[in-house]
Structure 1
Amino acid sequence: MENKKGSKDGQTPKVADVDAALDYLNRETATVMTEINEKALVRKLDLTIVPLMWACYNLQYLDKTLINYANVMGLQEDTGITGNQFSLLATLFYVTYLAFEFPTGYLMQRLPTAKYLGANVIFWGLMVTLNSAAKNWAALATLRALLGCFEAAVAPALILVTSMWYKRSEQPARVGFWYVGTGTGTIIGALTSFGFQHYESDIFTPWQIMFLLFGLVTIAVGVLTVIFLPDSPMSSRLTREEKIWAIERLRENQTGIENKHFKLYQVRDCFTDPQTWLIALITITSNIPNGAVSSYQATIIKGFGYTSKETALLSIPSGVVSCTAVISAGLCGAKFDARGPIIIIILLIGGILGGSLLAFSSPTDKGALLAGNYLTNVIGASLPLIYSYSAANYAGHTKKVTMNATVLISFCLGNIIGPLTFRDADKPRYLPAKIVIVASTAVSLVTTAVLMAYYRWENRRRDKVHGGIAHRENSEFFDLTDRENKEFRYRW
């Protein structure tokens, strides 16, 4: 009897169907890896791969939020756009970001992953650079839309790269290390904004210089990514032994490394999987606050009664809080190999406590308002753990790519809704938008608890039904989905 992978049940699938890692191992002689070898290899990966991933994500966050700083530096006045048009700029980015997720996921599977990522970094850097020449709404809107198209590749590519190189227990920390770029991006953006507000020229405005500088830096990082970030362990600059070790140590993940064959049945498997819809809902509801905070951070602080320069400096602690939360969450996730419980703690601190302080404190209590504003930056630390869910609990390359796109589409939906809650009619307090932060976080928190319960129930069911199943040699690299592989167990 033929199964969906074109092989006989219980036998090895066709060569075209298996993971590229298995094909590589079949052509090489196995070598013994000691604990010392593995630690040295992981250290080497951490020093060569993680910094590039951080640089890409740091610039991705910084470049899309530069408009936030430019707004308090005179962007609206210089280009003649209204407050509602500015809100649409924030939304427009996520609309095209969303639209390109599935196409970019397909291309990422068919093309060399790191090269595709690097090319997109170069192109979005070009869009940021051209913002320095934008004079009106039409130019800003066009560049913002194109920025979303190219930035759509970064998060799914980095999730895929992380799953190619690290064990499931190692992934939360590594995702946290590159996702901390959101916090460092906030700090760099705030300091740069403050510095450029002291710049005066009859030729260029401060915000134009800022766009030009970071656009050129992004292009340079894109070139470095193309040159130095490996597409997979098999095509990396590692030694032959290190390549084999890098592959062999990921057997326990049971999620594979790479397969260039697009499999439609795995797409269906993804969208009929209950965890997909639960993770999507968590992502949407936790990113409604993120969309509001990332696009309106400076505007919210300025609304407390501070000047533009004071606002830039007061935005720096937001980045520090974000960095601290992301690194702490990633390290705790790696130490306890847990995601859901940490997400719940993050949402309680950032969304419930921070959002409540922001929404319900007295308008004259600047201390409480600032504290609430800073704490809302903790919410973003839940996203790398959601990315880690996608990396750890989805097997089958096409299914992984599809889920990565789904997570990022959900991320976009939350970030589209978030800025729309900030209306000109609600200035300067934006109370309805702040109440939405609390409400959406509560929904995300409850859904996370449901997802954890589902994983525990499904693992117990598999232990009961498939507990005595015999292991199939090399099945870790058969490109089976997590639901096809009866040995697979979910991390919660």
Structure 2
Amino acid sequence: MDEKPNHSVSDKESDGFVLPNETPLYNAHVDVSGIDEKKLIRKVDITLIPWLSLLYLLSFLDRASIGNAKLYNLEGDLGITDKQYLISLTVFFFSYAAFEVPSNVFLKRLRPSIWLSILILFWGVTMVVQGLVHDYASLVTVRWFLGMFEAGLFPGVSYLLSCWYKRSEFGIRMAVFFSATTASGAFGGLLAAAISKMDDIGGKPGWAWIFILEGLATVVAGVASFWLVQDFPDTAKFLSEAERTVIIRRLQGDDQFSAAGEEFRWKYIRQSLLDWKTYVGMIIHCGCVMPQYTFSLFLPSIINQLGFRATPANLLTVPVYVCACVIMCLIGFLADRYGRRGLFNIGFMCLSVSGYIILILSKSAALSYFAVYLAACGIYPVLPNNVVWMSNNVEGSYKRSVTLGMIFSFANINGAVSSNIYRQTDQPRYVLGHGLVLMYLGFGLVSTTVYFILTKRENAKRERGERDEVIKGQSGGNEKNGTFESVVEAKREKGDDWSGYRYVL
């Protein structure tokens, strides 16, 4: 198909980077001929991914360890009922959801190395305090603050990584980063089983030591993060000026026009609020997050009700998470290579559905344990894949930060639902809990299909030229799509609404 005037690509190339017509070459004065792009990306991977993954492992370990601690008489020692325990889980999600969007805006306005490190340090201290609680009121208070301080990490890191990688590279990195959740599930079971043996040391029960020791590890990580968390590409200190230039040029060549920096304007916030993709994305992510939260919080209890005692139940969660981790990383790689992220969503949500249907119908412990594997291998690959998909289809630094924050925030409000659906009165089969997870998976399947169809239809309209803007000095375009002095201005003002932008399906 012939390219339209305002979609054209110039013949000018600079060191392998082809930039759209009229786009100023970033740092045109910098010589990048000596930079090996593959080695540079490996350097970025090694510097960013391992430490950020460790931080998310600690985050998920800290929020979900209460599920492990419950098996070691937490409720009895605090004198709380099952309903009060569920409320303490619920409170976490309200503060977590409330602070995600503001945290992402602060992250963009401040340095990630400072903002994220402060949050990590504070939630580590909160975890230690959680091991010192003595009644229901103090447990609920601590869980509220834990949610508030943890709120900024996942949306912040998701946004930060999206500012470093091309859209076709982001998936495997996000999958590796998110694999920390499966690692925390596996490691959490082993750790809880080991720490529980400290029962009565210092006059504290085993479950308290789980919180205290995990919290102290997070405090250490928070202090180290002031030096180990990196900032955005245009200011990253671990890169030379030539290396920063290469990173930004390749992002701009991938239609990430704002990679070189963007001044804050309320217009970008409004663009996010008025974009239909934001709201459909919120529903899709609910269908990913709620099942994942219920799985991580209640897997030890589910296995426990299959006839296994506390420590064996925790240990039997380990192979489930290991299997889910392998599948998640594989799907991250395949989705980067072949695209069609929406179809991956649909396929693996269906796999989860099959697992939960078996859990509802099964009366065999062995079959139910097999179904847990199906559920895990369906739930865990979908969530990072969906984060990448949503991020891939939003252009503009501030718009992306707000859109991701809104998507995560709304989805995490539904984490409050996940905390209350696996009741002791429903054991051992937990029909209510499994049924509600199936309902959320249904929401995810329907909304993913809608998002896929509408973005595909929009891409087709842009191919036909129906969204072309009027660019002064060039022929073609429709005034209803806007009139601009140049393609550069059209990109800056319209972001992913620009006619040359193509959505990832």
Is TM (by shorter chain) over 0.5?
A: yes
- Correspondence for 1:148: 147
Give the secondary-structure state (helix, strand or coil) at the position aligned to 1:315.
helix
* TM-fit CA distance, 1:456: 0.8
Aligned mates of 1:26, 1:488 — CA distance in 2:
20
Q: Retained in 2: the 8 A contact 1:83–1:424?
A: yes
Q: Retained in 1: the 8 A contact 2:103–2:156?
A: no
Aligned mates of 2:400, 2:422 — CA distance in 1:
34
Amino acid aligned to 1:339:
R
* TM-fit CA distance, 1:262: 3.2
Aligned mates of 2:174, 2:392 — CA distance in 1:
11
Q: Retained in 1: the 8 A contact 2:93–2:415?
A: yes
Cα deviations by residue, 1:324-343 (Å, 9 ceiling, x for unpaired): 23212211111113311111
Give the secondary-structure state (helix, strand or coil) at the position aligned to 2:422.
coil
* TM-fit CA distance, 1:33: 4.8
- Correspondence for 2:347: 345
Q: Retained in 1: the 8 A contact 2:459–2:502?
A: yes
- Correspondence for 1:75: 74
Give the secondary-structure state (helix, strand or coil) at the position aligned to 1:29.
coil
The worse-fitting range, judged by mean Cα deviation, of 98-107 and 147-156 is 98-107
Cα deviations by residue, 1:193-237 (Å, 9 ceiling, x for unpaired): 121233343522222222121111112222222212221122212
Aligned mates of 2:221, 2:106 — CA distance in 1:
21
Q: Retained in 2: the 8 A contact 1:163–1:257?
A: no
Give the secondary-structure state (helix, strand or coil) at the position aligned to 1:456.
helix
Give the secondary-structure state (helix, strand or coil) at the position aligned to 1:491.
coil
Aligned mates of 2:165, 2:449 — CA distance in 1:
26
- Tell me: CA distance 1:367–1:258, structure 2 relative to 1, closer, same or farther (3 Å): farther
- Tell me: CA distance 1:54–1:258, structure 2 relative to 1, closer, same or farther (3 Å): farther
* TM-fit CA distance, 1:43: 0.6
TM-score (norm 1): 0.89
The worse-fitting range, judged by mean Cα deviation, of 95-104 and 260-269 is 260-269
Cα deviations by residue, 1:159-212 (Å, 9 ceiling, x for unpaired): 121112100000011111100010000011000112123334352222222212
- Correspondence for 1:273: 275
Amino acid aligned to 2:425:
A
- Correspondence for 1:130: 129
- Correspondence for 2:20: none
- Correspondence for 2:416: 416
Give the secondary-structure state (helix, strand or coil) at the position aligned to 1:299.
helix
* TM-fit CA distance, 1:154: 0.7
Aligned mates of 2:489, 2:157 — CA distance in 1:
25
Aligned mates of 2:262, 2:463 — CA distance in 1:
32
- Tell me: CA distance 1:26–1:245, structure 2 relative to 1, closer, same or farther (3 Å): closer
Q: How does 1:271-350 map to 2 (within 5 A)?
A: 271-350=273-352
Aligned mates of 2:260, 2:82 — CA distance in 1:
46
- Correspondence for 1:405: 405
Aligned mates of 1:387, 1:305 — CA distance in 2:
36
The worse-fitting range, judged by mean Cα deviation, of 78-87 and 319-328 is 319-328
Please say if 1:252 is aligned against 2:253: yes
* TM-fit CA distance, 1:26: 6.0
Aligned mates of 2:443, 2:131 — CA distance in 1:
40
Cα deviations by residue, 1:231-287 (Å, 9 ceiling, x for unpaired): 112221211211111111111332323656432222222122121111111111232
Aligned mates of 1:198, 1:26 — CA distance in 2:
58
- Correspondence for 1:356: 357
* TM-fit CA distance, 1:479: 6.9
Q: Retained in 2: the 8 A contact 1:396–1:479?
A: no
Give the secondary-structure state (helix, strand or coil) at the position aligned to 2:410.
helix
Q: How does 1:366-381 map to 2 (within 5 A)?
A: 366-378=365-377, 379-381=379-381
Aligned mates of 2:168, 2:56 — CA distance in 1:
22
RMSD of aligned alpha carbons = 2.4
Amino acid aligned to 2:400:
K
Aligned mates of 1:56, 1:253 — CA distance in 2:
29
- Correspondence for 1:452: 452
- Tell me: CA distance 1:104–1:200, structure 2 relative to 1, closer, same or farther (3 Å): closer
Aligned mates of 2:209, 2:343 — CA distance in 1:
43
* TM-fit CA distance, 1:25: 7.1
Unaligned runs of 5+ in 2: 1-22, 475-484
Aligned mates of 1:131, 1:435 — CA distance in 2:
32
- Correspondence for 1:17: none
Aligned mates of 1:93, 1:476 — CA distance in 2:
42
- Correspondence for 1:389: 389
Give the secondary-structure state (helix, strand or coil) at the position aligned to 1:54.
helix
The worse-fitting range, judged by mean Cα deviation, of 468-477 and 232-241 is 468-477
Q: How does 1:100-179 map to 2 (within 5 A)?
A: 100-179=99-178
Aligned mates of 2:350, 2:164 — CA distance in 1:
32
Cα deviations by residue, 1:43-92 (Å, 9 ceiling, x for unpaired): 10111111111011111111100101000012111111111111112111
Percent of aligned pairs sharing the same letter: 25
* TM-fit CA distance, 1:464: 1.4
Amino acid aligned to 1:489:
R
- Correspondence for 2:496: 482
- Correspondence for 2:243: 242
Please say if 1:195 is aligned against 2:194: yes
- Tell me: CA distance 1:396–1:346, structure 2 relative to 1, closer, same or farther (3 Å): same
Q: Retained in 1: the 8 A contact 2:171–2:385?
A: yes
* TM-fit CA distance, 1:487: 1.6
Amino acid aligned to 1:294:
S
- Tell me: CA distance 1:249–1:423, structure 2 relative to 1, closer, same or farther (3 Å): same
The worse-fitting range, judged by mean Cα deviation, of 216-225 and 47-56 is 216-225
Aligned mates of 1:345, 1:263 — CA distance in 2:
39
Cα deviations by residue, 1:331-366 (Å, 9 ceiling, x for unpaired): 11111133111111211112x11111111111xx00
* TM-fit CA distance, 1:475: 6.1
Aligned mates of 1:411, 1:102 — CA distance in 2:
12
* TM-fit CA distance, 1:467: 6.5
